[in-house]
Amino acid sequence: MRSAPTILHLDMDAFYASAEQAAKPSLRGKAVVVGGLGPRGVVATASYEARRFGVHSAMPTAQARRLAPHAAYLTPRFTLYRDVSNQVMGLLRELSPLVEPLSLDEAFVDLEAGGAAFDGGSAREVGERLRADIRRVTGLSGSVGLAVSKMLAKIGSERAKPDGLVLIEPGTERQLLAPLPVRVLPGVGPATGDHLRRAGITTVDELAEAGQDELVRLLGRAHGTGLYAMALALDERPVVSEREGKSVSVEDTYDLDIHDRIRVRGEVARLAERCTRRLREAGRSGRTVVLKVRRYDFSTLTRSETLRGPTDDPAVVREAAARLLEGVDTTGGVRLLGVGVSGLADYTQEDLFAQAAGERAAAEAEAAAEADELAPQGPAAEVVDPVAPAAPEERRWPAGHDVVHAVHGPGWVQGSGVGRVTVRFETPTSAPGRVRTFRTDDPELSLSAPLPLVEGDGGAGEG
């Protein structure tokens, strides 16, 4: 391991919720919860104001509403979060070529590799400057940990929260780790933690005292040896600049179980489109299509099909997912569906496009035949006036998403229902704005792209 604390870990503070507070002046300093809002929704992030009520990530939204009934509950805006993340990662890459992103809001940086720092003093200066740059560029705060290893740097950033910096001095690592719970170590999840607790091991110091032989007996050679080294503050893992994703996937959990087979097929097709869109955004393609189905009784089935070569064609992925669905019984109802692509590559297999065209034609013919069978027949069929326009589908207005009105300008959705949508008209750089209510079909109101969080910043404008 190195002798200077030149590995940096950045963790943005309550990222999604903080971004929403920065975008919405009326929510600053107030409890904000971002996540799924339906009966089966889960909290993605809670602001620090909401955490005082006991709300935390991965908690069911229904439980969060009981704990913090007056908080603002918003659906995620990943376009905004990705744009802000790109800005933050850009600042990190100015410090070093070795940046290892872990998620949209978290990354390791090897400051030594970029010549940005060589000892504790220079590392601290870089960390403080980075925090100031992040606030200047995004308006948000991030916490920084600095140490001689990735494990310790991450522990440092956790201790620095919110909006702080902790540098773990070389030579003090064992003393710092000793009283901490074993769950702070990488690779110790709930199952391993419970297994160790049953053996009387709850702290890192007790883990070190148990010895390598005992940990190997309890956890196996690889896991036991690795955890023993980390309990002694030894972590040789390098910062890796390119972390290759093994798969790209999307999934949805439904508020009510889906029983209609035709709707299940439609949802799978929609998820396949979203999945391939993410593939293309990442400049990747994949060879294996995976379908995930969680049924009414919580049993989860996974089916996969490996293609002749990698593809990013939505039609190919959609049709493969449809074939996989045919082998799954959904009679009792479906509560979750997911589509993924694995076996990623940086190229596509051209002959798959011809394959898709033939399979697409067959699928379209089958769909047409099915539609004919479902169409009402005989005198009982409803007579439709060919001149009368079809009733428009009611527009959806997700809570927290951006809108623009032809007269009142930009704002965001506070809520909607029973044919009405409530909008607060304000921007990231304005004072708290006024609330107005409109019909959901108001032609002067439309969804819009996120506005930049900081004046003069054009990063958060993609639709």
End-to-end C-alpha distance for the chain, whole angstroms: 45
Do residues 227 and 219 touch, judged by C-beta distance below 8 A? yes
Tokens of 258: 């889906």
CA angle (260, 264, 266) in 5-degree steps: 115
Distance (Å, whole) CA 50 – CA 74 = 13
Residues in the chain: 463
Tokens of 158: 């956790």
Catalytic residue among 20, 49, 100, 106: 106
Closest-CA residue to 255 (of 62, 59, 440): 62
Q: Where are the alpha helices (DSSP H) in 282-381?
A: 314-326, 351-374
Decide if 267 is catalytic: no
Cross-strand pairs, 292: 302, 338
Tokens of 445: 């109101």
Q: How many CA atoms lie within 13 A of 236 on its CB side?
A: 3
Tokens of 427: 């921007």
**Residues that are catalytic:** 106
